[in-house]
Structure 1
C-alpha cells in the first residue's frame, strides 16, 4: 500500500542523533590523545586501530582481557556518579592481564545507551582515559552505540577490552610456586567492581543514604571509589625481581576464596592469617549492616586485598619494599602449604 505522507523521516526521528555522536567523538579525541604511547599507528577515527608490537620483545605473546563494571553502574545512575566508572572499566581488564606478567598496550571500550547524553558519555570516557593513563596503555578505539528502546533514559552499559604483551619466557603461570612461599597482599581501594548486587541490597536493608558519613567520607565516595590499578607498581617489581614473583592473582569476582586457587596447583593451598590485615571500614560496615558471615565476605568481596603476590620467603622483604616504594600498601598475609584432600585451596583463619 502506497504511503502518501509528505513527511520525510530521519534517523533522529527514530531516536538516533548522529550529530550528538559526532559531538561526543570531538570530546573523546583529546581525552584519548593523552593516553598515546609508542606503538600506536592509528587510533580513534578509523575502522580499525593499529598497534605495532614492542620491538624489545623477542618472543611476544599477546594477552587479552574483557570485562564490564557490573551493577556498580546502577549506583552510578542513582547517585549521578559517572566520572570514575571508566576507571573501573579499565582496571578490571588490565589487572586481569597483568597477573600473567603482561604489560597492557591498548584498550578499547564499548558504550551502549538508549539516547546519547553527550555530557554523561564524555564523563565516562574521561574516566576511561584516566584509567588508561594510570595503566600506561593507549585508548586506541571504541564504539558508542545509541539504541533507542533498549535502555531507559539516563542509563547505559559498558564493556572494555585490553590487550597486552609479555615475553614468552617471562609468562607468570604459578607453576613454580612451592610449599613455604610467602603470600603478599596489595591493599584495595574499596570494593572495586565486585559484589555490588549484595552491596546494593545491604544499602537498601540499612536505609542508607549516599551523603551519610563513613570513615570521614560520604558513603557514596567510599562505595564508588574507583578500582585500584596495579599495573605500574607490579611491572616495576617484575622488572627488578623477575622470576622471584611466582604468582599473581587479581582479587575480582569470587573474592579471596575463589581467586587465589586459580594460580595454585591442586596439591597446594594458601594459608592466610586474618590478623595480618585490618578489614577496612567499608567492609566492616557491610558485614555489620548485612549480617554477612565471614565466609560469604571472603567469597564475594576482596575484603581490602586487591592483588595477591606469591614470592619466595627469602625475597619477601625485598619485594615488599619495592612495592611500597611504588606506592602500594603491602601485607604479608600468609604462606603456601601442602593441601590436604578435604581442604579448600584458600584457608583464612
Structure 2
C-alpha cells in the first residue's frame, strides 16, 4: 500500500518535477533571447533600407556640396583633385541620409553642375533691383564655395606668374605715372609762380608811367600757357584719382574675401558643433535605451526567480500534504 502510494506519489510528482525542470531550463533561455533582442535593437540603429533616390532635391545637393567643401576638393591644387574628391565621396557615403553611394567622378560632376546652376542663378538675381531674394542654407554654402573657388583660381594664376607679373607691371606703371604727374605739377607751379613774379615786377615798372595801359595785363601767350597747365593738371589729377580708386577697389576686394572666409569658418564651426551635439544626443539616447532595457531584463529575471521560488514553495507544501496523506493512509 505504502509502495503503491509511494509509486503513485512518485508517478504524480514526476510530471511536476519534469515541468519544474523544463521551467528552470527554459527561464535562462528566455532571458538570453531577451538579451539578444536588446543587443539586436541597440546595434541596429541604422534606418531601414529605402529605395534608391535620385540627385534631384535640395537635401541631396546639400550633402554633396558639404562633402566636397569639407574635404576641400573644390580648392585642390593641380594634380590632387582626384584624391580629394575620393575623400569627398567617402564623406558623402558616411552620411546616414545619403540617397545612394557615390564615387569621386560622380560627386565631382554633380558638384560642378550645382555650382554652375548657382552662378547662373546668382547673375540673374544680381540684375534684379529692389528685390530681396531669400537665401537658403544651400545658397549660403554655394556662395562661400564659389567665392573660395574664385579666390583659389586667382591665386593659382598668380602662382603661375602671369597675374603676379601683370599686377607688378601695373603697380610700377601707376607709381611712375603718379611720380611723373606730381613732378610735372610741381614744375608747372614753380614756372607759373616765377612768371607771375616777373610779370608783376615788369608791370610795376611799366605802370609807373601809365597804370591804365594794356601793358600791365597778361599777354595771350601767358594766358594760353596757364590754360594748358590747368588742362595738364586736370589730366594728372584724373590719373591720380584713378590710381587711388584702383587701390581702394583692390582693398575692398580683399576685405570681401576676408569676410567670406570668416563667414565660412563660422559656418564650419557651427556645423562641427551641431555634429558634436548630435553625436552626444545619440550617445545619451543609446545609453538611456540600454539602461531601460537592462532594467527590464533585471526585472524579468527577478520575476522569474520569484516565480521559481513561489513554485518551489508550492511544491514543498504539496509534498508535505501528500506525505501527511500517505502517513494517514498507512495508519
Higher strand share: 1
Higher helix share: 2
TM class by shorter-chain length? under 0.3
Rg (Cα) greater in structure: 2
TM-score by length of 1: 0.24
TM-score by length of 2: 0.25
